[in-house]
Structure 1
């Protein structure tokens, strides 16, 4: 897997705050991709693409409330 972590500033978190954070991207170059954003307030956005083409996208507010949890394809995460 190849991966990168980048820092971002003043982006809108799922809770609506403008905060800094980090974005982590991993890729095995064969279809498996992770793209995770963690905000300074504790919110998260997670996008995982799997080898079979299915995808899971989750948005989680800093208090733990899941704002979105979408699955495509037959993959069970």
Structure 2
């Protein structure tokens, strides 16, 4: 896996605050990709792409409330 970590400043977090944070990106060059944002307030945005082409997206506010939780591979009956 190849990965990078970058710092960002004054971006809008899921809670609406303008804060600094860090972005972590990993890629195995075969379809597996992770893109995670961690905001200084504690909010997080997570996007994971898997080898099968499915995508998982989660947005979590700093108080733990899940604002978005989607997985393109979910099939509910």
**Superposition TM-score tier, normalisation by shorter sequence:** over 0.9
Question: Which position in structure 2 is the counterpart of 1:59?
Answer: 59
- Runs in 1 of length 4+ with deviation above 3 angstroms? none
Pairs aligned (count): 75
Partner Cα distance (2:50, 2:74) in 1: 10
Unaligned ranges ≥5, structure 2: none
Deviation string 1:32-69 (CA, Å, 9 cap, x unpaired) is 00000000000000000000000000000000000000
SS of residue matched to 2:7: strand
Unaligned ranges ≥5, structure 1: none
Q: CA deviation at 1:73?
A: 2.3
Question: Which position in structure 1 is the counterpart of 2:72?
Answer: 72
Question: Normalising to structure 2: TM-score of the pair?
Answer: 0.95
Partner Cα distance (1:28, 1:38) in 2: 21
Provide the aligned C-alpha RMSD in A.
Answer: 1.2
Question: Normalising to structure 1: TM-score of the pair?
Answer: 0.95
